[in-house]
Structure formats: C-alpha cells, structure tokens
Structure 1
Amino acid sequence: MADVKRNAGKTGAAQVSDSIDSLTAAIGARIKVSTVAPHSQTLQGTLFTACPKLNIIAINTAPAPPNPSSTLSNQPGDYHIIPIQHISSFDIVSLDSNAAKQTAATVQPPIAPVDIKKLREREEAKIRQLREQEANKGKGVSREAQQIFDALKRLLPTRWHGQEIVVSDAVIISPPYTVNDCKAPKGKDQALDRIRMVLDGERRKIAQRAAQGGTPPPGAPRKGG
C-alpha cells in the first residue's frame, strides 16, 4: 500500500509520536524514514519494531528476503535505532502480508533454554580459580620472594605458610629464601638436596633476568646504602 503515508514534516515530531501506535500495527512493513539534524538522513527498510514506552523505532535496512514468508527474526539485518523525536517524516512504502500479525513477542529471536547446571559449574570453577590465585599470593613478602614462589610452583607442589614457602609438604624455605634457608625433617634429606638445587637454579635465573632488566637481583645491596 504505497499510498498509505504518515508525514510529520509539517507539524513536527509530536505528530510522529502520536502515530507510533499505527506504526506498531505496521511492523514488518517496508517504510522510508527521514531524520533531522544532527544526523539528517533518509533510511528505507523493514520496520522491525516500534516501542511506545521508549519512543523509538528499529528499522532493518537490509534488502528484503526473497521468501516473503520469512519471519523478521530470521531475516539478515542491518538495524538502526531511531528516536521518535529525531524523525521528520516517514512513509509506509508497502505493507507485509503478515504485518498485522507481527508483534514484539513474535519478531524477537527465540530464546534458548538456559543450562543452569553448566552455569553453576562455570561459577564454581571461577571461584576455585580466584581462591587459588589468592592463596598463591604471599602476604607481606618481597617481589623477589613471590618470583621464587612462582618459579618453584611451576615445578613442584608449593604453598605459602605465613611468609615461609613449603615445597612438596617436605621442605620449608624461610626468608630470605636462599639455599641455606631450607630445612626439612629427618628422613627428607633427598628431597632437601633436590629442592636446594632447584632453588639455586631458579634464583640464578631470576638474578639473570633482573640484571638484563636493570633491576637488582634478590639480596643485592641497594646503591646509596
């Protein structure tokens, strides 16, 4: 129905606002909309929705599908949201045969069921991850101590006990975390020797990276006292 027109150019946006009810009934129709400054333009496409509460319309400027029975939610889209007060005029170019049957409830994309179990599993996994990250942060320790902890944890089960580092539930490394600060109960001599060797190697790597970055290695005296 190309002869069906609504024009607000003469009386302003108020008339367009009053006509939004008729636009709602024309959802699915091809319309042409002209807007005022600062974004003056003319758009032509399918009316996707018209909301009297928000005073906006949504127009899909993508070409109409070859299958006229296709629902609005299945059509390819290039959507534009236009406030009613920005419209200077609009024309209904042609009415869809199913336009009268289209409503906001029928054109919106279908909502898939929510898998509550998976959402809970994801939530629990995220909580575990955050707790683990927090547990791996030393409280009141130096940056170098945290680097040593992180390096050891990549190789062996490692945790904080206050400011002491516990490795493999066998060896305790106390500040300042040198090989001489390692201790273990009787019968754990083999584990103690191994962890001392690993600690020495990791401290060398940290010192090398610090030297390359221009920062002092762990335990190095600061210039100026």
Structure 2
Amino acid sequence: MSNGTIDWALDLRVRITTLLDNTITGTVYAFCQTTNTITLIEDPPAEQSTTTDSNTKPLRPNYRIIKTSFVRDVTTLSRPKKTTIPPSAASIAQGTPHRDAFARAEPPIGPVAVAQLNAKAEAAVAAERKRRARIGVGVTKEAQAFFDLLSNTVPSIWHGKSIIAMEEVRIDPPYTPESCLADDPDSAALRYVKRVVEGTREKLAHTNSQIKGG
C-alpha cells in the first residue's frame, strides 16, 4: 500500500474497537506504515464538549497511537467537512510523486527538531545517571541520610559502600573523619572533607535527637 492510498482516510471520524473490546472514538490524524500505527485525535469527554463558557481555554487535543495489529474493527462515523481535493490527491491522480500526504492534517504536522530531541534525551540520560549515583546500593538508611546531607556541601557519589567526595577523597564506613582517605594525606581537600564530615555527623545527631525527643 502506497502513502497515497491512505490520504483519503485523514480527517475521518471513526470508532475503533480493540482486541480487548475497548472503543476509541476520534479523528484520524496520521497513519504510519513503517510502525503500523494509526494516530487519532480523541473526541473530548461529553461534559467537556458541551461546555459553552467563552472564558474556558480550549483543551489541548489528546492523541492516541494504536497498533493496527491491536485493532479488531473500525467504523466510520463521519467524513471530513472539507470537500476540496488536497494537492496530494491531485498529484496522485496526475501520476506525479506523492510528497504531502499529510498536508491537510489538523492540527498541522510540523517539522521534528531531531537535534533538539537528541539533546533532551542526552540530558535526561545524564540526569538519570547523576540521580543513580546518589543512591547507595546495599547501604543503611543512616548511611544514605549521611550521604544526602554531605552532598549538599561537597560533590559526592557512591562507590560501593564508600563515598567519593570532591573526586579525590574516599569516605569508608562508618563515615567518620578518621575513615576519610586520600592519595595525598596532606591535601587541602582531605582536611576540608574531614571538617565537613564531622559537621554532617553533628547535624544528623542533632536531627535524630529532636525526632526521638518528639
């Protein structure tokens, strides 16, 4: 089936029955033969479609993407209001290549900013990696609470059950100033992290005492 053969279906209002006997009513927005999916703009709920308040903002359309293999039955409810032949249909009738099958889709189909989407995906992956680096595996709740408070002051990540602070200081359990190690025992970073660790433990002890005291 060529793209041109499904151009006539755009804007049809249909009711789709799925293999699970669920019904979805809406307007055909797009059809993808690569993924074998049909996209509908769902009809709004009855209570929303009857709203006449002029101050009410128009609802954003809700799109449903359905695999064609999941469709049991399709019933046409109404045809598009437009009666003009779209340029794509005319080009097919003339034997010219079909290049704008979705030219009359509403809302219009705009270009996809692939670079922007890739940047968002990369940022999301980086954020997830950063989030996971802040969650200790196999550590106690007290250790995680210590890490959370410590990382508010110095950059920290988990390395097994140890904590790496400022990329050069390792804090081993039980996370005391004495359990802080660095390649250079006289480094300023080590001295600083020890002070922060001591302060963090004092804050946690104070918080825990308040909780126990009620």
TM-score under structure 2 normalisation? 0.51
Aligned AA (2:173): P
SS of structure 1 residue aligned to 2:123: helix
SS of structure 2 residue aligned to 1:172: strand
Name which of structure 1's ranges 206-215 and 120-129 shifts more when overlaid on structure 2: 206-215
Report how far residue 173 of structure 1 moved: 1.5
Q: RCO higher in 1 or 2 (8 Å CA, sep ≥ 6)?
A: 1
Question: Deviation digits for residues 120-140 of structure 1, max 9, x if unmatched?
Answer: 110111111111111221111
Instruction: Name the CA distance, whole Å, in 2 between partners of 1:145 and 1:154.
Output: 15
**Aligned mate of 1:140, from 129, 132, 138:** 138
Partner of residue 182, structure 2: 184
Report how far residue 77 of structure 1 moved: 6.1
Instruction: Name the CA distance, whole Å, in 2 between partners of 1:162 and 1:156.
Output: 18
Report how far residue 199 of structure 1 moved: 0.8
Partner of residue 129, structure 1: 127
Unaligned runs of 5+ in 1: 1-48, 64-75, 80-97, 216-225
Conserved 8 A contact 1:148-1:202: yes
Instruction: Output the aligned Cα RMSD.
Output: 3.9
Conserved 8 A contact 1:173-1:182: yes
Aligned AA (1:163): K
SS of structure 2 residue aligned to 1:140: coil
Structural mapping, 1:158-169, within 5 Å: 158-169=156-167
Partner of residue 12, structure 1: none
Mapped pair 1:212 → 2:174 = no
TM-score under structure 1 normalisation? 0.49
Partner of residue 151, structure 1: 149
Report how far residue 162 of structure 1 moved: 1.7
Instruction: Name the CA distance, whole Å, in 1 between partners of 2:166 and 2:59.
Output: 59
Report how far residue 181 of structure 1 moved: 1.8
Larger Rg: 1
Unaligned runs of 5+ in 2: 1-10, 17-23, 27-42, 61-80, 87-101
Q: How many residues align?
A: 139
Aligned AA (1:118): Q
Instruction: Name the CA distance, whole Å, in 2 between partners of 1:56 and 1:185.
Output: 66
Question: Deviation digits for residues 64-87 of structure 1, max 9, x if unmatched?
Answer: xxxxxxxxxxxx9689xxxxxxxx
Instruction: Name the CA distance, whole Å, in 2 between partners of 1:77 and 1:180.
Output: 63
> Structure 1 residues 100 and 194 mapped into 2: Cα distance closer, same or farther (>3 Å)?
closer
Instruction: Name the CA distance, whole Å, in 1 between partners of 2:125 and 2:159.
Output: 21
